[in-house]
């Protein structure tokens, strides 16, 4: 009988108990615009730039928060394309920066007077040089809640999946999606 009580004491609750796990849903076009318009109306320059760049870049959260000004801009002009080295795969990935995103990034850079070697999204906490992935996750959760969606179904990976889902629905070109995401294996892309 003593053995049973010890087993119960050592039992740990699984990390995912009561949580929805699995792939996070991408945003639909009307949801993208709903979030974008709310951020524009609130004059939230930082989050608008973060949101637009997250959609355009298709980067993982860990790569997005570590972007520096020099990664996306030269001489206070945001480039139409950028190439960065992915943290997870150690491979370069290229992405297009749309005009709308360039405008929001330029407004953010001008507002904050950031220099080229600084992080694009500096943390407001002095011990951290840039926005953390956890802070970014909270921001994404706020965006999703603001338009009435269930935050359990959406997350930072939602931002990565959104544009490629729209591209795939339009073109049905799986190879293009693979290149956009920087996947080495087509099987990884198929799961998207």
Tell me the per-residue pLDDT of 120-140, one tens digit each, with 9 for 90 and over: 999 887 778 999 999 999 999
Q: 37-59 pLDDT, tens per residue?
A: 999 999 999 999 999 999 999 89
pLDDT band, very low/low/confident/very high, at 93 (cuts 50, 70, 90): confident
Please give the pLDDT value at position 166: 76
Task: Please count the other Cβ atoms lying within 10 Å of the Cβ belonging to residue 150.
Answer: 10
Q: Is the pLDDT of residue 15 over 70?
A: no
Residue of 105, 36, 28, 27 whose CA lies nearest to 64 = 105
* pTM exceeds 0.75 for this model: yes
Residue of 118, 148, 120 whose CA lies nearest to 28 = 148
Mean pLDDT of 163-171: 78
Give the H/E segment covering residue 22.
Answer: none
> DSSP string covering 84-145, please?
EE-TTT--EEEEE--HHHHHHHHHHHHHHT--TTSBSS--SSTT-SS--HHHHHHHHHHHHH
Euclidean distance between CA atoms 101 and 151, whole angstroms: 24
Report the CATH superfamily, name and number, of domain 26-191: Intergrase catalytic core (1.10.443.10)
pLDDT band, very low/low/confident/very high, at 8 (cuts 50, 70, 90): low
pLDDT band, very low/low/confident/very high, at 7 (cuts 50, 70, 90): low
Please give the pLDDT value at position 163: 84
Q: Return phi, psi of residue 68, to 5°.
A: -105, 165
| Domain ranges (residues) in the chain | 26-191
């Amino acid at each position: 009988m003593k053995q049973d009580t010890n087993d119960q004491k050592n039992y740990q609750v699984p990390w995912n108990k009561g949580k929805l796990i699995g792939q996070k849903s991408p945003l639909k076009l009307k949801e993208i615009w709903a979030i974008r318009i709310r951020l524009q109306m609130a004059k939230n320059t930082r989050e608008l730039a973060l949101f637009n760049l997250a959609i355009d870049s298709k980067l993982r959260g860990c790569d997005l928060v570590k972007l520096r000004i020099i990664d996306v801009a030269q001489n206070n002009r945001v480039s139409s394309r950028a190439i960065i080295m992915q943290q997870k795969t150690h491979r370069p990935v290229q992405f297009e920066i749309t005009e709308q995103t360039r405008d929001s990034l330029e407004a953010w850079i001008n507002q904050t007077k950031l220099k080229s070697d600084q992080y694009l999204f500096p943390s407001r906490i002095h011990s951290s040089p840039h926005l953390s992935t956890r802070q970014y996750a909270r921001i994404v959760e706020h965006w999703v809640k603001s338009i009435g969606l269930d935050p359990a179904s959406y997350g930072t990976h939602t931002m990565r999946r959104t544009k490629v889902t729209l591209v795939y629905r339009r073109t049905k070109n799986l190879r293009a999606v693979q290149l956009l995401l920087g996947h080495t294996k087509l099987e990884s892309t198929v799961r998207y």
